[in-house]
Amino acid sequence: MTFNKKYAGYYEKFNDGKDYSKEVEFLHQIFKKYSENPVKKILDLGCGTGIHAKWLALKEDEIVGVDLSPDMIEIAKAKNIPHSEFFVGDMSKFDLNRKFDSVISMFSAMGYLTDNKQIEGFFNSVKKHLNKNGLLVLDVWNGLGVMNELPTSREKSSEKDGLKIVRKSFPDLDSKNHTNNVRFNVKVFGNGNLIEDYNENHKVRFFFPQELKKYLEDAGFELVHLCPSFEFDKEVTEKNWNIVLVARLK
């Protein structure tokens, strides 16, 4: 799925409350515990506008970001983040002809791959880009949580840079195919006046832990850690909508 220009332009305002610094500290905790070698070269798949890369660069990590959206990549490049490069590409089939210490995919980005062949392609492409014993870190929707607490319509608002954005979600769960088809209505106000009103459709896949473990094993990885998103020492249950999986290339 390629996001339209409007989505890319408002992306960071939608997610203004997201604690990226906490997530990057979590990543470094993962690297310290599970990596057999120092993690300095990181590939970020579904990198969006480069916010994780910006925080990772503070640790002087070398970051390469890949995203399907040219508009997202344009915004990421404009940040002029040190030690970083950004490319337009499909995370289910890409070849950068280089190796990394770790590959990450955050903010449920892998969920936009909804077809089994795409997911197999993702893991095989990741495998080609990892150094020996390299780490893969995935943040995804947890099928246990989705089916326990079914998606409902919600409203989220954000105010920044003189704009107020109100986004309402209207989910349509397809449990058989492990997807949630969400229509978003977005209204943007400036000085109290409506300046944008449009709809977006997002189809996102959720994953069950044993399902992902099988994909990983088939591609030559071993699962080394599973936890609720950004809660390193907790166990995954049906109450968690988001989970993190850490896998090492055998």
Kindly report the CATH number assigned to the domain that includes residue 155: 2.20.25.110
Residues 130 and 149 in one domain: no
Residue 162: predicted pLDDT: 87
Residues 162 and 139 in one domain: no
Position 17 scores a pLDDT of: 84
Which domain CATH number covers 225? 3.40.50.150
Rounded mean pLDDT, 19-33 = 96
Collapse the DSSP code of 169 into the 3-class scheme (helix H, G, I; strand E, B; otherwise coil) and give the result. strand
Predicted TM-score (pTM) of this structure: 0.96
| Enclosing domain of residue 161 | 145-205
38 and 135, same domain (yes or no): yes
- Strand, coil or helix: 45: strand
- Same domain assignment for residues 34 and 131: yes
Give the number of other CB atoms < 10 A from CB of residue 19: 10
- What was the pLDDT predicted at 21? 94
25 contact partners, CB below 8 Å, separation of at least 6: none
The closest alpha carbon to 202, from 224, 179, 220, 223, belongs to: 179
State residue 3's pLDDT score.
Answer: 66
Q: Which of 190, 186, 139, 200 is nearest to 160 (CA)?
A: 190
CA geometry: angle 139, 35, 26, nearest 5 deg? 40
pLDDT at 9: 85
Specify whether 30 is located in the same domain as 96.
yes
pLDDT at 2: 59
User: Is 60 a residue whose pLDDT tops 90?
Assistant: no
pLDDT of 30 higher than 80: yes
Give the model's pLDDT for residue 6.
80
Contact, 122 vs 113, CB < 8 A?
yes
> 81 with 173, same domain?
no
Give me the pLDDT at residue 4, please: 67
Average pLDDT over residues 181-189: 95
Helix (H, G, I), strand (E, B), or coil: what is residue 154?
strand
Could you tell me if 28 and 97 lie in one domain? yes
- pLDDT of 15: 86
Q: How many domains does the chain have?
A: 2
Asked if residue 212 and residue 129 are part of one domain, the reply reads yes
